[in-house]
Chain A
Amino acid sequence: MKTILQGPPDPAAPLAPIWRRLAWFFGLALLAAMAAILAAYAMKAVLTL
């Protein structure tokens, strides 16, 4: 987990353009939601075997 979790960016480094950061923001959120949906359906499938 130590290598997976991201810390904050280097304060001296310039930030990416806002559109790119927003794209990551909503893209990661969508991916996480999809993962949750997949996990839920997988559990449902296992329980109904």
Chain B
Amino acid sequence: MDLDALLLSRLQFAFTLAFHIIFPSFTIGLASFLAVLEGAWLFTRREAFKTLYMFWLKIFALSFGMGVVSGVVMSYQFGSNWSVFSRVAAPVIGPLLAFEVMTAFFMEASFLGVMLFGWKKVGPGLHFAATCIVAVGTLVSAFWIISANSWMQHPVGYAVLPGGSLTAVDWVKVVFSPTFPERMAHMVLAAYLTTALVVGAASAWILLKDAGQPESRIALRMAIGMFAVVAPIQVLVGDASGKEVLKVQPVKLAAIESFWETKSHQALHLVAWPDRAIEGNRWEISVPDVGSFITAGRSDAVVMGLKDVAPRDRPPVFLVFWAFRVMAGLGVAMAGLGLWGAWLWWRGGPERSKLYLRAAVLMGPAGFVAVIAGWIVAEVGRQPWVVTGVLRTADAVSPVGAGQVSASLLAFIVIYAIVFSGGALFILRLMDRGPAVAEPQPTAPEAQRAPGTPLAAGTAGETP
């Protein structure tokens, strides 16, 4: 494989994106979880909700910070590695990303300050408002980013100017491009599931050590509720998203399912070894007719195959096919974890089953893996285009040398390994301690006793 500037720039963008997407996919769900916890505390005044809020607030703040830092790197790469893309598409993409910063990022960053430092100063009602604003901000952020990406998947509402640049002629069409609604719902639900899996894993970890820990019991039940309800909905939303892909990006769908011939009664390839060199699958385990049924709703529906387009217009099939199966497989496992947990809940309590707790811990990172796999399907499946049908990825790269990109990629790998490993380890350490020690402990009543009272000596003696 020839490591030219194009391939290295793609690797660099993929590497930094894979790191970045971990954080927003976690913080989108965590912000909403915090709003639910604080709302529950305000409504019930149960201390457990407040303890959980304080615990997850720390993790949210750390994740938000790491998400911002890794996100800034992404936007700088548009200029450093993808300057032709920026020149051509900036009049359309630029405002969407600017809206994200102005309407979402600043909303989140501003009111995060109130969340972290202002509870005593602003009181419970306004603090809850700040938490809700941050939660809405994360969703608004997702809105603009998915809008920009959906437009790149299927550009509409634009015109090409004489110099080759694009310009928006209908902003409503640009913002709400055809694949946007399903992709937005799919991503937000993925974020909620990712958070629920982490919350479930952290709670299960503590419950394996102490099955009676009250905050972790509550958090585990909340997570199970999310798996049980959201995971099956996510499967349906994913199916709707796939049907939209069939309409507007049939080549991507053909790669997802490894369909090579255009025909009716396509088989569903459960597993296969797609190979572009032989324009087919080296081997496959398939179910006849089900491929057409799942993708188009009828087994006699004609579904496009990859051979309908020139080889240079086909995406890397192997990666797209397997990334999709990783995502879908994990989605089914999440739904299974939810149903299993709901059954155990009904039978008396999921914390009684060590097997379930271990499974929940094991599934902790599954949301991140599924999200990264999903983005591989979306982004690699769009290749060889950066803006489908308008600008090829090969034409969008900056005129930079392979040496320069190698150096920056190496620097990213080293810096990310240090910074994000440190952050992740710190978060894991917090999770290992659990919510019970997360809150600043109130002064012990003993310490407040007047000198001379029977229990005063012990505490007084500890003071140097």
- The DSSP consensus for interface residues of chain A is helix
Using a Cβ cutoff of 8 Å, how many contacts connect chains A and B? 88
Given known pairs A9-B123, A16-B123, A22-B126, the reply for A36 and B109 (CB within 8 Å) is: yes
Given known pairs A5-B57, A5-B116, A33-B110, the reply for A40 and B72 (CB within 8 Å) is: yes
How distant is the Cα of A24 from the Cα of B175 in the complex, in angstroms?
Answer: 36
Cβ distance B42 to chain A, nearest Cβ, rounded Å: 9
Chain B: residues with Cβ within 8 Å of the partner, total of 33
Given known pairs A40-B72, A43-B72, the reply for A6 and B124 (CB within 8 Å) is: no
Partner of B118, one of A2, A6, A11, A43: A6
Residues of B within 8 A of A (CB): 41, 45, 50, 54, 57-58, 61, 68, 72, 76, 105-106, 109-114, 116-124, 126-127, 129-130, 439-440
Cβ distance A5 to chain B, nearest Cβ, rounded Å: 6
Write the A1-44 contact mask toward B (1 if CB under 8 angstroms, else 0). 11111111101000110000110110011111101100010010
A49 touches B (CB below 8 Å): no
Partner of B106, one of A8, A16, A31, A33: A33
How distant is the Cα of A7 from the Cα of B439 in the complex, in angstroms?
Answer: 8
Q: Verify B439–A29 contact, CB threshold 8 A.
A: no
Q: Verify B110–A25 contact, CB threshold 8 A.
A: no
Given known pairs A8-B119, A8-B124, A25-B130, the reply for A31 and B76 (CB within 8 Å) is: no
- The DSSP consensus for interface residues of chain B is helix
Partner of A21, one of B72, B106, B123, B439: B123
- Write the chain B residue with the least CB distance to A30: B110
Q: Verify A8–B127 contact, CB threshold 8 A.
A: yes
Q: Verify B58–A5 contact, CB threshold 8 A.
A: yes
Chain B positions within 8 Å of A43 at CB level: 72
Partner of A32, one of B57, B114, B123: B114
Chain A: residues with Cβ within 8 Å of the partner, total of 27
A47 touches B (CB below 8 Å): yes
Q: Verify A24–B54 contact, CB threshold 8 A.
A: no
How distant is the Cα of A49 from the Cα of B126 in the complex, in angstroms?
Answer: 42
Partner of B58, one of A1, A9, A16, A36: A1
Q: Verify B122–A28 contact, CB threshold 8 A.
A: yes
How distant is the Cα of A29 from the Cα of B122 in the complex, in angstroms?
Answer: 11
Chain A positions within 8 Å of B113 at CB level: 28-29, 31-33, 35
How distant is the Cα of A43 from the Cα of B75 in the complex, in angstroms?
Answer: 12
Q: Verify B72–A7 contact, CB threshold 8 A.
A: no
Q: Verify A4–B126 contact, CB threshold 8 A.
A: no
How distant is the Cα of A30 from the Cα of B105 in the complex, in angstroms?
Answer: 13
How distant is the Cα of A3 from the Cα of B58 in the complex, in angstroms?
Answer: 12
Cβ distance A12 to chain B, nearest Cβ, rounded Å: 13
